Amino acid sequence: MVEDIKNYEGMSVQDKWNILATVANLYYNSDLTQNQIAERFYTSRSKISRMLKEAREMGIVEINIKEPWERNKLHGGFGCGALHIEFVCRWFAVQYIYFGDERYSPESSV
């Protein structure tokens, strides 16, 4: 995987998708920092930042911020500051709702 990052620009869309999904999973689901991911792949933090942006642009990662009127209606009144992040991979989707420093998944009780 480390060698893949070095040849990233010349990769097929499928290979890029796989690497972007891996980086996004480490950042959003494993809570690694961009610096930690960069160290793991022997690349720069700015490269990881660009990859996370590309993952959002390709639809691998979707971030939705619910406005107050939507939060109250859709999430049972989460109140101010709720952030909904959905990480989409080819075979599964994981959803989390962040409220302050707390992370809730669809299975957790609020």
Structure tokens at 53: 């942006």
Q: What are phi and psi of 100, to 5 degrees?
A: 65, -125
Burial of 102 (0-12, 13-18, 19+ CB in 10 A): exposed
- Mean pLDDT, 10 residues at a time, the chain of 110 residues: 76 92 96 96 95 95 78 54 55 56 55
Quick one: the chain helix, strand, coil %, rounded to 5? 45, 20, 35
How many helices (H) and strands (E) are present in the chain, helices listed first?
A: 5, 4
